[in-house]
Structure 1
Amino acid sequence: MKHLFTIAFVLIVGICNAQLWFDVGAKAGIGAGFPMNKTLNDDSRLNIGVGMNYFFGGKVGINFGEYVGLTCDVDYGKYNFGFNQSEIPGFTSTESYKYKFGYNALGVMPMFRFTKEMSYLEIGPQFLFASNQYIEDEAGSGVSPTAEELIDSRMTGVTFGFGAHMIGNEIISLMMGLRFNYVFSGITSDTYEATNYPFSNYYDITSANKTSPINAQIVLEVNYSLGYIARSTTSCGKRAAFLTF
Structure 2
Amino acid sequence: MGPAHVVGAAVIDGSGRAPNNLDITVENGHITRLGASGAHGERPDAKGPTMAPGLIDAHVHLGLSSPIRPNFSFRMSAARITADIFATASATLGAGFTTVRDAGGIDGGVVTAIAKGKARGPRALSCGPAQCRTGGHGHCGAEGEPTELWSSHHIAGLCALSMRAGNADDLRHNVREAFRRGATVLRLCVTGGVVGAHDRLTGTRFTVEEIAVALQGTAARNTCVTVHAHHNETYEMRSRPGRAVSSTAPASTNPQRP
Where on the TM-score scale, by shorter chain, does this alignment land: which range?
under 0.3
Structure showing the higher helix proportion among its residues: 2
Instruction: Name the TM-score, length of structure 2 as normaliser.
Output: 0.21
Give the TM-score taking structure 1 as reference length.
0.21
Tell me which of the two structures has the higher relative contact order, counting C-alpha pairs closer than 8 angstroms and 6 or more residues apart: 1
